[in-house]
Amino acid sequence: MLRIPNISTVAVVGAGPAGLMAALTAARSGARVIVCEQLPEPGIRLLATGGGHCNFTNTLATEDFVRRFGAKRRFAASAIKALSGNRLRLFFEELGVPSHSPDGFHVMPVSDSARSIRDALRQACRSRGVEFRFNSRVDGLQIDRGQVTGILTSRGIESAAGVVLAAGGASYPSLGGGESGLGLARMAGHTIVPLCPALVPLLTREAWPATLAGVTLPRVTVRVAVSGDARATGGLLFTHKGISGPAVLDISGHVSAALMTHVSVDVMIDLAPDRTLEAWQGQIEAMRKDHGARTVLAMLASILPAALAKVALERADIPASASVARLSRAQSHKLIMLIKNLPLTITAAEGFDKAMVTKGGVTLSEVYPKTLESKIVRGLFFAGEILDIDGPCGGFNLQWAFASGFLAAQNPQIA
């Protein structure tokens, strides 16, 4: 492993959460650190996370946390273990930003403000002498015999013994999202997995979800058969264009990726994942026996929102006014199957302007997971959303950003 003696210059491209963490970590190790950011201030996207509340991690144990990255969990493990959720909370507390978990899962600042985290990171960087170059675009990398030696910026050349690419992905272009960092990676010889929006609302071919706009369900399971049977359980929100909510957002990246090669993608929604087919059958039989005069709509509306119950009956071709006693076994079966497997056809995802994260990026096979260094160019590191790794809702992506920034700046090449 190449070692650069005494004061090395580290260039960090991007001043989001991954870039700020990388800059502070490198500076604490004694490096001279330059951060180039195309926007006029750091962490603008960070200010918008979690509706401004900044859910930056959660209370899952580290192993359980890592598992939620699915097929990418082995790659994510080194960074998450290097800076676990508990360590990250302690890190921010030492910067004067205590955190709490009001619901026992999501972790956010006690201030309830993303600004407190952004400002604490900026101040900590400045106190360590980090040099910020705002409104500064990085146009290229200097590479000599397989070793990065600097960056080419809109203001000139900056020599550096190590470079951390933390320029993010394409989501939220109005807040600085784009493909500039990926362009630099591509120039260095890296392969880029095609980008698509993730953690994003989905649009449906069917019109009926729009009639339920604003209706929420606290717990459903959404399944995408075309993507390796990907599924997620959580809340669902009907919108004027389709569906959203945590469960939908968590599978949206799989849907977006599938839509790159499919005109549409079918999803199935289990409206009551904690109630089995047998339980439904038993309840209807009990209702038929004890409350046979009650309408099917009244029965169903005791479990689901009334507006959704009405839609379900319409799609099952069952009159809302029919009594439970007159419900045939065939109708009962059709209704139960619809509740457990409500089909929707997804024709598109909302664009990058509505996406919380980007799916795709620098392919992981070309990066060492234990250091986040490029396998192609020595001294070139990656952190955050620029890599082809994304997690579900609930603080996973911010934790990854901070942890990967921390890990990328831990190595002797850049310290």
Q: Is residue 333 one of the residues assigned to a domain?
A: yes
The string of DSSP letters for 227-292 reads TTTEEEEEEEEE-SSEEESHHHHHHHHHHHHHHTT-S-EEEEEES-TTS-HHHHHHHHHHHHHH-T
Q: Could you report the per-residue pLDDT of 121-172, keeping only the tens digit for each?
A: 999 999 999 999 999 999 999 999 999 999 999 888 999 999 999 999 989 8
Same domain, yes or no: 205 and 192:
no
**Lowest mean pLDDT, pick from 39-53, 225-239, 279-293, 377-391:** 279-293
Last residue of a domain, one of 310, 328, 350: 350
Domain that holds residue 270: 201-350
Percent of the chain with pLDDT over 70: 97
The Cα-based distances of 97 to 52, 86, 108, 117, 367 in angstroms read: 15, 14, 10, 7, 32
Same domain, yes or no: 282 and 378:
no
Per-residue pLDDT at 292 exceeds 90: no
Q: Is residue 3 one of the residues assigned to a domain?
A: no
Which amino acid does the sequence have at 233?
A: T
| pTM assigned to the model | 0.92
- Mean of pLDDT over the chain: 93
Please give the pLDDT value at position 4: 40
Mean pLDDT of 232-258: 96
Q: Is residue 2 one of the residues assigned to a domain?
A: no
Q: Is residue 147 one of the residues assigned to a domain?
A: yes
Mean pLDDT of 303-311: 93
Same domain, yes or no: 129 and 223:
no
Q: What is the CATH number of the domain that holds 227?
A: 2.40.30.10
Please give the pLDDT value at position 285: 84
Same domain, yes or no: 214 and 272:
yes
Per-residue pLDDT at 273 exceeds 50: yes
Same domain, yes or no: 223 and 343:
yes
Same domain, yes or no: 105 and 73:
yes
Q: How many beta carbons lie within 10 A of that of residue 152, not counting itself?
A: 15
> Which residues lie below 8 Å from residue 286, measured CB to CB, with a gap of 6+?
none
pLDDT band at 227 (very low <50, low <70, confident <90, very high): low
Please give the pLDDT value at position 29: 94
What's the CA gap between 48 and 50, in Å, rounded? Answer: 6
Same domain, yes or no: 140 and 279:
no
- The phi, psi pair for 358, rounded to 5°, reads -110, 130
**Lowest mean pLDDT, pick from 101-110, 205-214, 221-230:** 221-230
Same domain, yes or no: 92 and 19:
yes
Same domain, yes or no: 133 and 47:
yes
Q: Is residue 1 one of the residues assigned to a domain?
A: no
Q: What is the CATH number of the domain that holds 399?
A: 3.50.50.60
Number of helices (H), then strands (E), belonging to the chain: the values are 13, 19
The count of domains in the chain is 2
What's the CA gap between 300 and 91, in Å, rounded? Answer: 49
Q: Is residue 225 one of the residues assigned to a domain?
A: yes
Last residue of a domain, one of 327, 350, 373: 350
3-state secondary structure of 65: helix
Same domain, yes or no: 302 and 333:
yes
Same domain, yes or no: 163 and 45:
yes
Q: Is residue 4 one of the residues assigned to a domain?
A: no
Mean pLDDT of 107-130: 97
Same domain, yes or no: 19 and 145:
yes
Q: Is 159 left (phi over 0), alpha (psi -120 to 50) or beta?
A: beta
Last residue of a domain, one of 315, 331, 350: 350
